[in-house]
Amino acid sequence: MGPRVMRRLPKFVHGFIDRHGRPRFYFRRPGFKQIPLMGLPWSPEFMAAYQAAMMPETTSRREVGARRSIPGTINSLVVAYYTSEAWNHLAPETQKTRQRIIENFRSEHGEKRVALLQRDHILKILTGIGKLSARRHWLKAIRGLLRSAVPSMRKDDPTEGIATIRLPKTKGHHTWTDDEIAAYRAYWPLGTQQRLVMEFALETASRRGEVVRLGPQHVKNGRIRIERTHGSKDVDIPMSLELQEACHAMPKAHLTYIVSAYGKPRSKYGLGNDFAKWATAAGLPARCRLHGLKKGGMRRLAEAGNTTHELMAISGHRTLSEVQRYTEDADSKRLADSGMAKMRGQSENTLVANLGARSGKPRPKSLKSNG
């Protein structure tokens, strides 16, 4: 029997043996508080605690140098903002996006006085940002930061009156068609992560951040529990036959179904990139991407006759406006089909009536023309 190979500790984990001979393990990401982890590395108990630590609330962030921040500066404002009610009210995904912008702003202007920041300064920075979408995200993040400075650090908000950056209207991500779904299923068989990702995103109308969390513990008695992201409500819904088969065919060796080549949970960003390659390998066009499966799932649910409220119960959306367009599109399609069917029926009746008149035979009462 060969020497035992020790697995490396997961990222950000360190451990030691205490004075009582007990192993202790902690999660420590730079800039965040240290978090104790239960159990032994790679055990289910340990991995559950590890995954929770990988998605910490931003309020647990230890602000490096906070005590040295000079009152009235951008640095001190950022420190206060991260502990404010306005910040805690944001969804974790929104916090993550805005924090990157705020930290970049802070690194460049941290020592400057908040009270001296003017509207012209904001406009000048906005002008230097190339992409409209990047401008939009930057303004939202900095507007929230500077609003929190009123009235403690300044009397007004310098972003007030600056219009929100409007993006050109587009249809957004491509909604998968039934033919594209069939082509992907034909290429990737059951038992592969590629197939499960597609079935889960499609059949439950889920985002990539929800897909990477899916594990055997979320599936029970033909139902699935999904922790929704982006402020949507968590759901507990019946599983379709296709999704049940895809989950049943997967190995249960890890806490999540979707793992990397090293057996670790995937990030949602890595999954999005990988899925693009999987769709291309299946011969699908570049428009077929992971988020489009969520839209495809919503489309199919709407076309099956689900109401707006039924769609909300499945998708977790909180407002009618977010899902109403799916039912409106489906209703328009059904009305169009119904209208065309009536026209075809009228044309057929007229044709039979005309043929009967030419032959001299009496027309059956059931085939009389409406004209």
pLDDT of 304 strictly over 70: yes
pLDDT of 151 strictly over 80: yes
Q: Break the chain into its structural domains and give their ranges.
A: 13-56, 69-147, 178-318, 323-367
Domain 178-318 class, CATH top level: mainly alpha
- Three-class DSSP category at 165: coil
Structure tokens at 362: 């009496």
Q: What angle do CA 104, 106, 111 make, to 5 degrees?
A: 145
Q: How far apart are CA 300 and CA 306, in angstroms?
A: 9
Q: pLDDT tier at 264 (50, 70, 90 boundaries)? A: confident
Q: pLDDT tier at 371 (50, 70, 90 boundaries)? A: very low
pLDDT digits (tens, 9 = 90+) for 40-83: 888 777 777 777 777 654 444 445 455 557 889 999 999 999 88
| Sign for the pseudo-dihedral over CA of 355, 357, 358, 362 | positive
Q: pLDDT tier at 7 (50, 70, 90 boundaries)? A: low
Q: How far apart are CA 22 and CA 2, in angstroms?
A: 27
- Three-class DSSP category at 251: coil
* pLDDT for the residue 77: 94
Strand locations in 5-128 (E): 13-17, 23-27, 35-37
Q: How far apart are CA 234 and CA 255, in angstroms?
A: 19
Q: How far apart are CA 249 and CA 342, in angstroms?
A: 46
pTM of the full predicted structure? 0.62
Q: pLDDT tier at 17 (50, 70, 90 boundaries)? A: confident
pLDDT digits (tens, 9 = 90+) for 157-190: 999 999 988 878 777 789 999 999 999 999 999 9
Q: Residues with Cβ < 8 Å from 292, sequence gap 6 or more?
A: 173, 174, 175, 176
pLDDT digits (tens, 9 = 90+) for 267-302: 888 899 999 999 999 999 999 999 999 999 999 999
pLDDT digits (tens, 9 = 90+) for 204-225: 999 998 999 888 999 999 999 9
